[in-house]
Amino acid sequence: MTRQNFARLAASAGLAALLAGCSTDAPLASTGAPAAAPAEAASASPEELLARMSLERKVAQIIQPDIGSITPEDVRRYRFGTILNGGNSGPYGDDKGPASDWLKLADEFWEASTAPLPGDEPVIPALWATDAVHGHANVIGATVFPHNIALGATGDADLIRRIGAATAIEIEVTGIDWTFAPTIAVARDDRWGRTYESYSEDPKLVSRLGAAMVEGLQGRPDEPGFLGAGKVAATAKHFFGDGGTAQGVDQGDVNGDLAELMAIHAAPYPAAIGAGVASVMASFNSINGAKMHGNAPLLTGELRGNLGFEGLVVGDWNGHGQVKGCTNGDCPQALLAGLDVYMVPENWKELHASLLRQVKDGTIPMSRLDEAVLRVLRLKQQLGIFDGEVKPSARPYGGKWELLGSAEHRAVAREAVAKSQVLLKNHGVLPLKPGARIEVAGSAADNIPQQAGGWSVTWQGGGDLTAEHFPGATSIYAGIAAAAREAGGEAVLAKGGEAAGKPDVAIVVFGEEPYAEFVGDRKDLAFRDEEGLNLLKAYRAKGVPTVAVFLSGRPLWVNRELNAADAFVAAWLPGSEGAGVADVLFGARPATGRLSFSWPAHCEGTPVNGPEGALFARGYGLDLDQAGGPGVLDETCNALTADHGAAWFASGRLGNTVQAVADNAVLPDLRGVGNGITATGIDRKAQEDARRIAFAPGAKLALTGPESSAGWRITYQVTERPKAAVTVSADGTALDITQRLAVAAGKGWREMVLTSDCLGKVGDKLAFASKGKFAIEISEIARDERAAETECSF
Ligand code: BGC
Ligand code: BGC
């Protein structure tokens, strides 16, 4: 180290000591001795570093807060070992911020975590982890690869290795070190909202593809460059049972004989561990009633003991808080059960204090803490972040913006899209004929957020995202239009099927709206939205042959659409490179995609793995030159006709046909900002299962849904007392509820029942209007027949 450098470090060390001295909550050890230079850490072994760490900083190594809840100053003070960005967090509070902001913030965190420390304490840079689950898709401009279910249909391990390698480079461009991927869940009930994160219902296929993804992201342990430049730490998640919960309920309970459960749901772990996966994430679910985050026999006994995993076990988002007797800020049970790092987005301060106390009073043996800290330090050493002590932007790939969403990476994504298309039916329409005049219809045809799905820029994806949030991406329609031109024909966009004339063929693109995690849980497998169905029927009525392109995160019951279409392609969630769909439709590439999940014959919510109940078995898929598909299918589905109007808002989601509107701004899933309404996700019993709705003076919020004479039951609490009149109305008179809300203010959760008794005529609409500022939190809005007779109450 040069003399000047030393002087600079010493000066800033003095500043750090001073800061520590005046702050009340700084968990800093004693001061006095000269500054330890960061470069020292490079040569020391993790054990040597550990020996010189204060208890406070050891504890901080195993705490992982979210970037939305910490500042660089917090990092400087506490020296967290790792940090994460959740799906809704982005740099400087903006999850849609420019890519350069990610790197800028990474530098800031790095600098904060490597500021010199007083005494002999080693300086340990913090690691940043992100959910790059289908490319580095949190970041604007990244290549968005198809979701895992699509990759499962390619069955192509080499391709998946290349996707991992491209993703790792894009992550490093933005200064991040670690991804929470791959998900190696074996989804066994397609009602689960995370089915698309699973490669297959077949554990063998998941093992093979999961290991390939790990190798792509990290490199191979026996080859040079493992976890080196252009490689990031991977995470096999979620250990274990995530795909096996009863009824496919996210974070639910998995029941059965342990050995049998392991044989399915833990089966992909040996391959990932063999591939050298750096970390494993504990699962939210419980096994036979016991939450994984507190499950020593499984987290330590099985994972460490039987499976021999030596890397780091990271918790899931407040998963420790779900263990019996725990809260987000207090849970020695998880560390004792075998967790190494707590993912504790917000309650990190409390958790730091409680862990510190528990190590001091012997609740947690020092040896267990040391072991966890050592795992964090070893990962850092493996990643080489001590070497040379370079900030993220100065690393080989840092800031190489030409690599983010590069043509080369996009070509890999396009190849993956093409290889994942599964042709379920073809009555002589495909491949499309050169020179064909094509109409492309359906609201998903030119809709990049929808083709990207969940975990794209935002956690849930979709919503207020537009093509602008995916610069460089190609929609399915754009891909078709280019291919048609090249083939001497023409494709026009006719979203509603309204274009004049009679095309040679119509392609109807339709499917699921984006979702992530529990928000995507369903009670049955019926695909309800009839837009695509109606378009297919309309074209057929005009005598136009049709191709259905179905976007979905899982197999769904689409018997009606299969009947109505001449060709049907399962396109999954292709991501940013929609042109890969056209590659197959026009025969530029063969149709090699094969189902990695069986496809349901019925809409009722029975598990569809295995041949019983399957319309198409796993492995099914037609070649382009092969005519085939099912005959006329039964279209009965009781779930379709049952009353789905009951829940207007529950578990963080609006009902299937329910809409929330602030004046004319649609709030997808009752979230967003518009016309004086600010609706944000809050946690009541689960993440983002409720909303905080703030009204500016004059703001209005209307909900519309299925017509019914039932009343509404609303679970709510008033967090900001109304400043002026608040009214509620159905179709009739506006009822002034200001007084009742004022009384409820600050009193916690309660129920409001609104019926024709106080609203007059009730039908398909409920509207709130506030003349002044006011805020209410809502966790459920239900239509309830029994309430129809009752009096209104608050
Ligand atoms: C997601 C996060 C997200 C959060 C919202 C978590 O389950 O994984 O990325 O931001 O919930 O509460
Ligand atoms: C998800 C994880 C994810 C984490 C961080 C959790 O809710 O279950 O898969 O890695 O959030 O976003």
pLDDT per residue as tens digits for the range 315-367:
999 999 999 999 999 999 999 999 999 999 999 999 999 999 999 999 999 99
pLDDT value, residue 499? 65
Mean pLDDT for the stretch of residues 395-416:
98
Q: Which residue from 94, 194, 317 has its CB within 8 A of the most atoms of ligand 1, so it is best to mutate?
A: 317
The letter for the amino acid at 720 is E
Can 111 be counted among the known catalytic residues? no
Q: DSSP code of 575?
A: T
Atom of ligand 1 nearest to the CA of 131: 9
Category of 276 on φ-ψ map: left (φ > 0), alpha (ψ -120 to 50) or beta: left
Annotated catalytic, 561? no
Q: Which ligand is nearest the CA of 131, by number?
A: 2
Confidence of residue 790 (pLDDT cuts 50, 70, 90): confident
The region of weakest confidence among 9-18, 44-53, 541-550 is 9-18
Query: Tens digit of pLDDT for each residue in 390-401?
Result: 999 999 999 999
Structure tokens at 26: 């700084």
**pLDDT of 586 above 70:** yes
Cα 571 to ligand 1 centroid, rounded to whole Å: 26
Name the 3-class secondary structure at 525: coil
pLDDT level of residue 19 (50, 70, 90 thresholds): very low
Whether 520 has a pLDDT exceeding 50, the answer reads: yes
| Range name among 120-134, 283-297, 522-536, 580-594 with the lowest pLDDT average | 522-536
Nearest-CA residue for ligand 2 atom 7 is 317
Q: Which of residues 21 and 688 earns the better pLDDT score?
A: 688
Residue 612 has pLDDT above 70, yes or no: no
Identify the pLDDT of residue 703: 94
Ligand at shortest distance from the CA of 84: 2
Termini Cα distance of the chain = 70
The residue length of the chain stands at 794
Does residue 607 have a pLDDT over 60?
no
SS3 state at 564 = helix
DSSP SS3 for 742: helix
Catalytic residue among 108, 316, 688, 780: 316
Protein residues with CB under 6 Å of any ligand 1 atom: 86-88, 317, 459, 517, 687-688
Range with the poorest average pLDDT among 90-104, 139-153, 517-531, 657-671:
657-671
Of 155-169, 719-733, 739-753, which has the strongest mean pLDDT?
155-169
Mutate to test the pocket of ligand 2, among 66, 130, 196, 317 (most ligand atoms within 8 A of CB): 317
Report which residue type is found at 71: T
Question: CB within 8 A of 439, min separation 6: which ones?
Answer: 491, 492, 494, 497, 499, 503, 505, 506, 507, 539, 544
What pLDDT band is residue 685 in, cutting at 50, 70 and 90?
Answer: confident
Higher-pLDDT residue of 747, 471: 471
**One of 108, 446, 512, 517 is an active-site residue; which one?**
517
Average pLDDT rounded to a whole number, residues 563-576:
98
pTM of the model: 0.82
Q: From 180, 183, 687, give the residue whose CB has the most ligand 1 atoms within 8 Å, as the site to mutate.
A: 687
Nearest ligand 2 atom to the CA of 86 is 12
Taking the CA of 316 as reference, the closest ligand is 2
CA of 89 to the centre of ligand 1 (A): 9
User: What's residue 22's pLDDT?
Assistant: 35
Q: Which pLDDT does position 496 carry in this prediction?
A: 79
Judged against a pLDDT cut of 50, whether residue 630 lies above it is answered with yes
